[in-house]
Amino acid sequence: MPIECNNLTKSYDGKLVIDHCTATIPEIGVTAIMGPSGVGKTTFLRLLAGLEKADSGHISGLSRKKLSVVFQEDRLFPQLTVLENLQAVGSGAEQWLYRLGLMKAAAQYPDELSGGMKRRVSIGRALCFDGDVFLLDEPFQGLDDSTKMDVMDIFAELKTRKAIVLVTHDHREAEYLAAHILRF
Ligand SMILES: Nc1ncnc2c1ncn2[C@@H]1O[C@H](COP(=O)(O)OP(=O)(O)OP(=O)(O)O)[C@@H](O)[C@H]1O
């Protein structure tokens, strides 16, 4: 069942951020969300994640679906190691750490990591949680080109069986992964 967004609106302090947005997100494959800074892309993801409530409109097709989210700020558990951060949410932690090039960092704590490493741990946690729907807000930002390709390839594999909503400013990422693009 696809996710249907019907006529969503959302304002902050009287300023309209999401203006009657209607969109379909297929059950399988990558939907890229693109648009200038401040146009409401993160807000749209937060509406999908249920972290914000729309002022009007309706989202259907999300009930009973498990959501894996990666937001721009990496919300890792500071008191847990990298490995434990992944194990806390699901299974397959070691396998994902390996795929993400993080095996050597498994016993480190988040405040000992670089920005790009924290980002990969966040991605690893989303993968371990193994949602039906992945909500990704600029997930590849801060990764060097080679690591970015490795991580994008994980999602290229995943997109054959999951719904992935990818906010990105990078046309190459969108072209590589996405079946269609929602322009905000
Ligand atoms: N919690 C909030 N309270 C007040 N204003 C907010 C809040 N969240 C977002 N906004 C405002 O809503 C607008 C859209 O923000 P949003 O983060 O959704 O944009 P974006 O398209 O994701 O931007 P970027 O590409 O820079 O990440 C901005 O003007 C922002 O200041």
| pLDDT tens for each residue of 91-141 | 999 999 999 999 999 999 999 999 999 999 999 999 999 999 999 999 999
Which mutation among 8, 17, 141 tests ligand 1's pocket best, with the greatest number of atoms within 8 A of CB?
Answer: 17
> Is the model's pLDDT at 20 over the cut of 90?
yes
* Cβ atoms of 163 and 132 closer than 8 Å: yes
Say how many C-beta atoms besides its own lie within 10 A of residue 16's C-beta. 12
Q: Encoding tokens for residue 145?
A: 């080109």
> Is the model's pLDDT at 86 over the cut of 90?
yes
> Is the model's pLDDT at 74 over the cut of 90?
no
Query: What's the CA-to-centroid distance between 36 and ligand 1, angstroms?
Result: 11
> What average pLDDT score do residues 41-68 get?
95
pLDDT digits (tens, 9 = 90+) for 145-174: 999 999 999 999 999 999 999 999 999 999
| pLDDT computed for residue 105 by the predictor | 98
Provide long-range contacts, Cβ within 8 A and 24+ apart, for 45-48: 45/69, 45/71, 45/135, 45/137, 45/165, 45/167, 47/5, 47/8, 47/10, 47/18, 48/3, 48/5, 48/133, 48/135, 48/165
| pLDDT computed for residue 81 by the predictor | 98
Please name the residue whose Cα sits nearest to atom 25 of ligand 1: 37
Query: What's the CA-to-centroid distance between 37 and ligand 1, angstroms?
Result: 8
> Is the model's pLDDT at 73 over the cut of 90?
no
pLDDT-above-90 percentage for the chain: 94
Q: Which atom of ligand 1 is nearest to the CA of 138?
A: 27
Residues with CB under 6 A from ligand 1: 12-13, 17, 35, 37-43
pTM for this entry: 0.95
Say how many C-beta atoms besides its own lie within 10 A of residue 104's C-beta. 10
pLDDT digits (tens, 9 = 90+) for 32-48: 999 999 999 999 999 99
pLDDT-above-70 percentage for the chain: 100
Q: Which atom of ligand 1 is nearest to the CA of 52?
A: 1
Please name the residue whose Cα sits nearest to atom 7 of ligand 1: 12
Query: What's the CA-to-centroid distance between 38 and ligand 1, angstroms?
Result: 5
Q: Which atom of ligand 1 is nearest to the CA of 45?
A: 18
| pLDDT computed for residue 118 by the predictor | 95
